[in-house]
Chain A
Amino acid sequence: MVLKSVRWWVVAAALAAFSLSAAAQESVVTVAFVESQPNTLDLHAARTADEFLVLRNVCEGLVNYDPVTLEPVPALAESWTISEDGLVYTFNLRQGVTFFDGTPLTAADVKYSLDRLSDPAFGTSYTAGLVLRDVAGWAQARPTTPSVGEGTPTPEPIPPAGEISGVQVVDDNTVQVTLSRPVTSFLTRLTLPGAFIIAQGSAEAGFANGPMCAGPYSVAEFVQNDRVVLRANENYWGGAPEVKTAIIRVIPEASSQVIEFEAGLLDVSVAPEADLPRLRADAQLSERLVTIPTLGLYNLRINLKDPKMGDVRVRRALALAVDRQLIVDTVLQGNGVPADYLYPKGLSAHTGVSYFPRDVEAARALLAEAGYPNGIELTVRTDQNETENRVLNAMAATVADAGITLIVSSTDAAVYTQDRTACTMEMGGIRWGMDYPDPENMVVLLLPNAATRVNCGYGEVDVADEIAELNTRAISMPLGEERNAVFAEIERIAMEEVLILPVYSGATTRLVSSRLGGQPIDANGVVRFALIDLP
């Protein structure tokens, strides 16, 4: 009896499942989160790729990046002027922009949003520092952060908590931002999710239903750990998007995403390296693979205080012994490019200079010169990221040719991060994804302004002052050849001293359904539903 009713239940359920095939409705696009799930939709606390994926479809800042070139382009600000000294930015807001609830955008909303970002109680994301650290009043808003500028700042009247004095409302449609020093990348940094604009006072309602923004989509539904449903904003200033409903599902297991894609239930899926050979061999699926280079650099942070790694000859020997091409071809399945420089391809500051072409003989000679004629044993630490472990193991195999025994030691991410911060290691792997496309965001890897680098001796090397001085100069120069030349000089010094050991710049490969036209994934690797054309 029991068995019989179970059988009936299965049949009934299977019949019901047929109705699912109709799920691929025309104006609905379904994708999956890349890492796991968004922890919060509060833009001032958001810090992960999954959170940014939602926010970049829902919100906008004064400026946004161009989906192809990544250059800053007007968004909620229609235009702006920059004072001659590069310190005062005056933004003219776009007319007729409304938030999801219909209230018009005013300068007060901009002030409110950036004030909240500056508030240590709310602006807990690292983007707060990236967006606001060069805005006047940051040091007062965040008194614990030592000011990076030279000299002690002149005492200013202490503003009320949760306010940043450098952002001022001029009139309803004009906002003025005063910087504490001229930085060219300020506009680029305003494209970060932390700088997005929400309606004044809207944060008090919480972010369970997403932020109150003015972007192309609003959050219709946020089911924790399951999905986020976005609904097209018909009043979007850039025109109503073609995709009316966007569903972003939480599918933590990459293989399940691929199966869902093959079944036609996902329009965009990740394509894990392990599945790539199979997907490339498939006549239909191989057509659906899209590869987008990521602006970033997988590199090894080196403990410059370590007796072995403190010797530049050992560092250079290791850098010369790595077969980067082999790693990219085998472990990464071509998902990336070998990198033996600082600025990844795609940045205008990319020089094209190859600093460490593989040279096993030179590596041996350097080791002998450093006092290790019979080879050397080194240890590299990493977390449990699968790709990274395979990369490092392949690296260990290739450097063995030069007499280097490279031991790969992997631990739980929390332990690894802690040890790396304290720098109790010879070297450790870093997956550095650029926060914004400016070479200064690569130079930070050389500056001793984070605990991880202070403890690794980055402030104590001979060239530290020179790099800091060049960097201070470069960041206030106007974009162009001259600025790039200064950054190129920093790269030359850093690579000469092998302050970090670059390995490769990655790429993300996705499966993208043939029904999605337009540009579903922007140059930053983010799915942008508003850029999708449907046939």
Chain B
Amino acid sequence: MTKYIALRVIQFLPTLLGIYFLTFMLVRVLPGDTAVILEGDRGDDAAIAATRARLGLDQPLPTQFVIFLGDMVQGNFGTSFITNRPVVDMIGDAFWPSVILATCAMLVAVAVGIPLGIVSALRHNTLWDNVARFIALIGVSIPVFWLGLQMQILFGLQLRLLPISGLGYNERLILPAVTASFGMLAILMRITRSSMLEVLNQDYIRTATSKGLNRRTVVTRHALTNALLPIVTVWGTGFASLLSGTLLVEVIFSWPGMGRMLVNAISQRDYPTVQGLVITFALIYALVNLVVDLIYPLVDPRIRYS
């Protein structure tokens, strides 16, 4: 097992270097120049040149690549062009808000989406099923932006039950987490439903039922455990994408997460911050994928890593 994890980590290193190279090139291929943005309409050519030199943008590309690679190996990702703070500190500020919001949203999605999917599959083609499928349809098609504002108006302004926006690891989490959970909830519900339907038609379910097991045991012990594999896969990608920031939710609820930070950094051409964030996202995806792969053998004993 340890060997397997070590192997995965080693395999990931070239991928990381490739991602780093691509990000490095992509932000520089983008038209627009940080020094010009900073100096705007007020600076002359000399001021722009001085700013470019201060930011190290006057160096040849290979030199810049090596400098930033050095920063990355040291784990600090360099200094932001815009805030003059170490990028690693800025990511540190945005990391926990993103992780906690994503985790709460994921918990809501799992707690609602999976039971809804199971009910839907068990009550196949009934009113229950239709209601659950309708919720899922709304979940995937409703624009997050609109949903968030409506939740703010309903729960924050009219009912005065919940805070409207801002960071806080308390009741302030509820609206953003519920809003962010909708998309993943819908997908989890759909995959649970279809996966369960497939399993429920298998011979061993009929066998289990006919040997006299009660319905509850059949569903939880035999059907659900076998239906879980695709659910875990979908859960993994959904969670990783929540972790790497839910831009719209962060903007509406003034949540200082990594999604908003990335968009700001791109629009201001803050190269070190963009690079640092993309590397962080790559690490998050790799980690979540590794966790998913480690969950597989627990769900399905036929899968084994040696």
Contacts and interface: CB of A to CB of B under 8 A. Distances in A.
Same complex origin of A and B: yes
Nearest to A21: B160
Contact of B254 (A39, A253, A435): A253
A263 B155 CA distance: 11
Contact of B164 (A39, A260, A415): A260
Nearest to A13: B171
Contacts of A251: 165-166, 254
B84 A40 contact: yes
Nearest to B49: A144
Contacts, number: 159
Contacts of B85: 40
A232 B108 CA distance: 42
A209 B139 CA distance: 42
B167 interface: yes
A409 interface: no
A16 B171 contact: yes
A227 to B, nearest CB: 7
A129 B171 CA distance: 47
A419 to B, nearest CB: 8
B50 interface: yes
Contact of A250 (B40, B157, B256): B256
Interface stretch (B1-9, B126-134, B264-272): B264-272
A319 B184 CA distance: 53
Contact of A414 (B37, B51, B111, B156): B37
Contact of A225 (B149, B256, B268): B256
A42 B80 CA distance: 14
Interface string A39-55: 11010010100000000
Interface in B244-260: 251-254, 256, 260
A166 to B, nearest CB: 20
A45 B165 CA distance: 29
A2 B50 CA distance: 60
A173 B259 CA distance: 50
A256 B264 contact: no
Given A39-B83, A259-B156, A17 B111 contact: no
A418 B33 contact: yes
Contacts of B111: 2-3, 6
A302 to B, nearest CB: 14
A517 B14 CA distance: 62
B90 A412 contact: no
B69 interface: no
Contacts of B267: 412-414
B264 A226 contact: no
A432 interface: yes
A21 B164 CA distance: 12
Nearest to B94: A225
B42 interface: yes
Contacts of B143: none
Interface string B94-137: 10000000000000100110010000000000000000000000
Contacts of B46: 144-146
A293 interface: no
A21 B159 CA distance: 12
Contact of A249 (B49, B112, B166, B260): B166
A225 B261 contact: yes
A417 interface: yes
A418 B152 CA distance: 38
Given A36-B264, A251-B254, A418-B36, A225 B93 contact: yes
A262 interface: yes
A144 B43 CA distance: 12
A57 B178 CA distance: 37
Interface string B25-57: 000001111001111111111111111001000
A420 B50 CA distance: 19
Chain A: interface residue count, which band?
Answer: 35 or more
Contacts of B167: 223, 225-227
B174 interface: yes
B10 interface: no
B33 A414 contact: yes
The residue among A142, A252, A265, A415 with the most chain B CB atoms within 10 A of its own CB is A252
B13 interface: no
Interface in A4-53: 6, 10, 13-14, 16-17, 20-21, 36, 39-40, 42, 45, 47
A252 B49 CA distance: 32
Interface in A274-327: none
Interface in A395-451: 412-415, 417-418, 420-421, 430, 432, 435, 449-451
A224 B31 contact: no
A255 interface: yes
Contact of A415 (B32, B115, B166): B32
Contacts of A2: 111, 115
Nearest to A9: B174
B163 interface: yes
B108 to A, nearest CB: 8
B201 interface: no
Nearest to A10: B174
Contact of A13 (B47, B170, B269): B170
A196 B31 CA distance: 36
Given A414-B33, A417-B37, A252 B161 contact: no
Contacts of B49: 144
B162 interface: yes
19 contacts: A2-B111, A2-B115, A3-B112, A14-B162, A17-B160, A40-B84, A45-B84, A144-B50, A146-B46, A224-B93, A225-B260, A226-B167, A251-B254, A252-B251, A252-B260, A263-B160, A412-B32, A421-B36, A451-B43
State the 3 A-B residue pairs at the shortest beta-carbon distance, nearest first. Answer: A414-B32, A225-B256, A13-B171
